Structure 1
């Protein structure tokens, strides 16, 4: 069985999300939950950066475009929040892209729009996941060499 990464930290983050959900309920917009989580993370002593603007590079050049996850907690966990009927593959893909771009190992996808309970998923980079990315990079390099 694979080790679960950042168990304690993710437990604290998800616990804070449950507290916000229990206090506010479901159906508010993301910015409301974002602000509530900032307060709750502070109360729980969870170190976080809210909506950091993370730049990307292409062939050694900084891009003007950036991406902005909802939170980075403990300097190593992406927290992406939603307020939708249910988490879909596009949300998972967004969180996985954040993992790829940062090199982090864990993203927590939290949905406050679900009733009657908070919906949450852990998306962790595994060795199998990393191997798939490596194969994808090799194919991309091979295609580039062919052109």
Structure 2
């Protein structure tokens, strides 16, 4: 399954979660519910996946964690904030670069319409 096919399923599941829960909850609540919905779709999902930082010749365990990694291809960074910022985008891109992933979804559940809270993040060549 391609990154784009996976992302369509993720977005569909995120819409279901947002429709049922609405905005205003903690990020952790959305993470657990989205994790559950993605597993129902028979996708392989890792939650809080550790992401080491390699600097020169050493590997540092700095406590970086990807919120959700789907099918070892798509990074999902979840937020429940007033609005997404450049720092949130940079965080998602950093995880993608460290892991060599091509596609990420930055999802802010604290919005009235979820489509306003979803940002596709592309690292490198990704065919549409």
TM-score (norm 1): 0.78
Aligned partner of 2:92 in structure 1 is 95
Bigger relative CO (Cα 8 Å, ≥ 6 apart): 2
Indicate the SS of the match to 1:70.
strand
1:27 maps onto 2:27 in alignment: no
1:56·1:66 contact (CA, 8 Å) conserved in 2?
A: no
Q: Distance in 1 between matches of 2:49 and 2:123?
A: 21
Aligned partner of 1:135 in structure 2 is none
1:25-66 residue CA offsets vs partner (Å, 9 max, x unmatched): 111000110111121111121211001112122222121313
Indicate the SS of the match to 1:66.
coil
Report how far residue 98 of structure 1 moved: 0.8
1:121 maps onto 2:119 in alignment: yes
- What value does the CA root-mean-square deviation take over the aligned residues? 1.3
Structure 2 residue runs without a partner (length 5+): none
Q: Radius of gyration: which is bigger?
A: 1
Q: Distance in 1 between matches of 2:54 and 2:91?
A: 18
Normalized per residue, the structure richer in helix is: 1
1:1-147 residue pairs with structure 2 within 5 A?
6-115=3-112, 117-118=113-114, 119-126=117-124
The worse-fitting range, judged by mean Cα deviation, of 59-68 and 8-17 is 59-68
Task: Give the total of aligned pairs.
Answer: 122
- Segments of 4+ moved more than 6 angstroms: none
1:79·1:110 contact (CA, 8 Å) conserved in 2?
A: yes
Q: Distance in 1 between matches of 2:53 and 2:63?
A: 6
